[in-house]
Amino acid sequence: MNGAAKDVPIPINAKTGVVSGLLLKPADAKALLIFAHGAGAGMRHRFMEACAMNLAEHGIATLRYQFPYMEKRIKRPDAEPVLTDTVRAAVTAAKKVAANLPLFAGGKSMGGRMTSLAAAKEPLAGVCGLIFFGFPLHALGKPGAERGAHLADVKLPILFLQGSRDGLADLKLLKPLCKQLGKSVELFVVDGGDHSFHVLKSAKRSDDEVLAAVAQKAAEWIGKNL
- The answer to whether residue 179 is domain-embedded is yes
**What is the Cα–Cα distance from 192 to 171, expressed in whole angstroms?**
12
Q: Is residue 93 part of a domain?
A: yes
Q: Read off the pTM.
A: 0.96
Q: Is residue 188 part of a domain?
A: yes
Q: What is the pLDDT of residues 65-76, one digit of tens each?
A: 999 999 999 999
Average model confidence (pLDDT) across the chain: 96
Residue 173: domain span: 6-224
For residue 182, the domain's CATH number is 3.40.50.1820
94 contacts 32 by C-beta, under 8 angstroms: yes
Number of domains in the chain: 1
> Does 68 reside within a domain?
yes
Per-residue pLDDT for 225 more than 60?
yes
Residue 42 lies in a domain: yes
Residue 108 within any structural domain of the chain: yes
Is the pLDDT assigned to residue 1 strictly greater than 50?
no
For the chain, percent of residues with pLDDT exceeding 90: 96
Cβ neighbours, 10 Å, residue 111: 30
Q: What is the pLDDT of residue 2?
A: 61
pLDDT tens across 93-131, in order?
A: 999 999 899 999 999 999 999 999 999 999 999 999 999
CA distance 106 to 129: 8
CA angle 70, 139, 156 (to 5 degrees): 75
Residue 1 resides in a domain: no
Q: What is the pLDDT of residues 126-171, one digit of tens each?
A: 999 999 999 999 999 999 999 999 999 999 999 999 999 999 999 9
Q: Is residue 149 part of a domain?
A: yes
